[in-house]
Structure 1
Amino acid sequence: MLNKWEGIVLRSIPYGETHKIVTLFTKEAGKLTAMARGAKKPASRLAAITQTFTHGSFLIRTGRGMGTLDQGEQIDSMRHIREDLEATAYASYIVELIDRLTEDNKQGHGLYGLLYDALHAINEQYDPEAISLFVEWKMLPVAGIHPILHQCANCGAAEGEFAFSFKEIGFLCHRCFHMDRYLVRLSPTQLKLIRTFYTVPISSIGNLTLKMTTKQFMKKIVRTIYDEQVGLRLKSRSFLDQLESTPELLPKKEKPVVEGD
């Protein structure tokens, strides 16, 4: 069967001397893998369309086993992501996270939109670190983690002072702080940001600017959840950790004005 699907390239690996195996996340059919014959040849019509991050329209022949990519038309090459080291690093983390947490031939409600919004926001030069945080928080349910963020995980209270509990995987109000001796106290702004990261679509955010300390705080919480509850180890995260610990590797950019914390 021949299908025309819109999608984004998550991964492209060499196969033999001239072919590629391409993993796509499509709008219509979810994640799938297809053989792109001859795509390693520079003159191939499939060479450009099979590059990681590419957003395009793909003509895929499916049947038993792996599909075959017959044709493709580029919608957006994600040029900024390809040319900017920081953008490449965070985009690579996002696509690997989504790739590792999803199965082939399963659509996944809202995942294509999340991937689309995240990569296009980075390509439009929004803060790639902040965008990756949105994706990390929103992918928790896909990893089987459903944090309780709308009320106290113990008593159900919706008002009061709150902290984050890794034991309860969610918020505890001040009446229940005794439930977890290692909880992390939250300011009202931090509380609001966590809820925003988890529930608000990236397309609705606008150009959100955050202080470095705020991003580090939010990252520490969500990555601790992944480390302790999911046990996910990503190659792209190791590179990100190196990049974040040695910011001098990145070219200097004009810093946006921070609107608040």
Structure 2
Amino acid sequence: MLYRVEGLVIRSTDYGEGNKIITLLTPTYGKQGVVVRGAKKLKSRYGALAQLFTYGDFSYYKSGTLGNLNSGEILESFHELREGLEGPAYAAYAAELTDRAINDDEAAAYLFHQLKACQTALAEGKDPQIVLRAYEMKIVNAAGYAPLLDECVSCGKSQGPFRFSAIAGGALCLQCRHRDPSALELEETVWKLLRVFSALDLRRLGNITVRESSKRQLQLAMRRWMDTHLNLVLKSRNFLDQWEKYGDMLGERMKRPEPSAKPEEAGDGTV
């Protein structure tokens, strides 16, 4: 049977001498595996279609588990996400997370549009840490593990302050925090962002400026949540963790004045 779909390439692996198998996230059929024959050859007609992050129009025949590409057209190459280190690191994490965390039947049209919006935001240069935290919330929602953020998961109390507990399922009030001594104490800004990310359509994501301390808490909260409920080991995450740690170290070195500099020469800094 011949299928024609829009799709985002979320995985691309070598197959045989000169072929590739790509995994597409589509709005109509969820995740689809398609063989692109000759994709590794220099003069391949469809080699570019098999590149990670590509958004295209794909036509393929399918009678079993895998389809065979018949024709295709690139709609958006997202070449920015394959340049440098930062773009590929964050985009690869989003793609691998989608591939590993979501079953074929859970990959609906909404998630397709969220991933496309995520890639667009990264390509436009929006804060990648904020973009990824928002997209992680889309993933846990799609997988059926959304945290309860507006009331205590234990007693139902709607008035904070709360602690964030991955084990308990979300917010814990102070009277119930004994249920998880490791629950996180988060800034009120972080609570607001978690609630916004849970309801937000990423296609409407603007430029958000967030303090570094808040970004670190967001990362910790989402990582602890996903480790508890999804329990995935992702190659891209290991690299990203190293990259973000290096970025923090680099930022500290850039902000730290030289020992010989006078106060007025070091600048006024940012609090």
* TM-score (norm: length of structure 2): 0.86
Q: In the alignment, is residue 156 of structure 1 matched against residue 174 of structure 2?
A: no
Report Cα offsets for 1:111-148 as digits up to 9, x if no partner. 10111110111111111121111111221134442311
Partners in 2 of 1:72 and 1:62 — Cα distance? 15
Give the 3-state SS of the residue equivalent to 1:110 in structure 2. helix
What residue number does 1:239 align with? 239
Kindly tell me the number of residue pairs found equivalent between the two proteins.
252
| Whole-angstrom CA distance in 1 between matches of 2:149 and 2:79 | 37
1:56 equivalent to 2:56? Answer yes
Query: Quick check: 2:7–2:27 contact (8 Å CA) kept in 1?
Result: yes
2: CA distance, partners of 1:13 / 1:167: 36
Give the aligned partner of residue 212 of structure 2. Answer: 212
Q: Is 1:82 the equivalent of 2:82?
A: yes
Is residue 11–residue 23 contact of structure 1 (8 Å, CA) maintained in 2? yes
CA distance in 2, matches of 1:194, 1:138: 11
Cα distance in 1 between the residues matched to 2:118 and 2:12: 19
Matched AA of 2:45: R
Counterpart residue number, 2:69? 69
Kept in 1: contact 2:2–2:61 (CA 8 A):
yes
Structure 1 residue 71 displacement after superposition: 1.1
Equivalent residue number for residue 93 of structure 1:
93
Inter-CA distance 166–11: structure 2 relative to 1 (3 Å threshold) = closer
1:24-50 per-residue CA deviation (whole Å, 9 max, x = no partner) reads 111211101011111111211111111
Quote the Cα distance in structure 1 between the aligned partners of 2:28 and 2:109. Answer: 11
Is the Cα contact below 8 Å between 2:28 and 2:109 reproduced in 1?
A: no
Match runs of 1:108-123 below 5 Å: 108=108, 110-123=110-123
Alignment correspondent of 1:172: 172
Q: What letter matches 2:103 in structure 1?
A: E
CA shift in 2, pair 1:249/1:40, >3 Å? farther
Residue 218 of structure 1 aligns to which amino acid in structure 2? L
Deviation at 1:105, TM superposition (A): 5.9
Equivalent-residue separation in structure 2 for 1:149 and 1:160 (angstroms)? 10
How far did residue 248 of structure 1 move? 8.4
Tell me the distance in 1 between the aligned counterparts of 2:62 and 2:213. Answer: 48
What SS does the corresponding residue of 1:69 show, helix, strand or coil? strand
- Distance in 1 between residues matched to 2:242 and 2:216, nearest whole Å: 14
- Alpha-carbon distance, 1:109 to partner: 5.3
For structure 2, the residue ranges without an aligned partner over 5 or more in a row are: 252-270
Query: Deviations along 1:29-79, whole A, 9 cap, x unmatched?
Result: 110101111111121111111100001111111212311111111111102
SS of alignment partner, residue 20 of structure 2: strand
Q: CA RMSD in A?
A: 2.2
3-state SS, counterpart of residue 49 of structure 2: coil
Provide the rounded CA distance (Å) in 1 between the counterparts of 2:179 and 2:48: 54
The equivalent residue for 1:257 is none
Residue 108 of structure 1 and its aligned partner are, at CA, apart by: 2.9
Q: Which residue of 2 aligns with 1:127?
A: 127
Partner-residue secondary structure (3-state), 1:65: coil
- Of Structure 1 and Structure 2, the greater helix share is in 2
| Change beyond 3 A, Cα 1:151–1:248 | closer
- Aligned residue in 2 for 1:254: none
Contact kept, 8 Å, 1:243 with 1:249, in 2: the verdict is no
Change (3 A) 1:213 1:156: same
The answer on whether the counterparts of 1:86 and 1:250 sit within 8 Å (CA) in structure 2 is no
Q: Give the letter for the 1:52 counterpart.
A: L
Question: Aligned pair in 2 of structure 1 residues 213, 160: CA closer, same or farther (>3 Å)?
Answer: closer
Q: What letter corresponds to residue 202 of structure 2 in structure 1?
A: I
SS in 2 for 1:23: strand
Structure 1 spans left out of the alignment, 5+ residues: 252-260
Q: What's the TM-score, normalizing by structure 1?
A: 0.89
The verdict on how the C-alpha distance between 1:127 and 1:100 changes in structure 2, with shifts beyond 3 A counting, is same
Query: Which one is further off, 201-210 or 111-120?
Result: 201-210
- Structure 2 counterpart of 1:8: 8
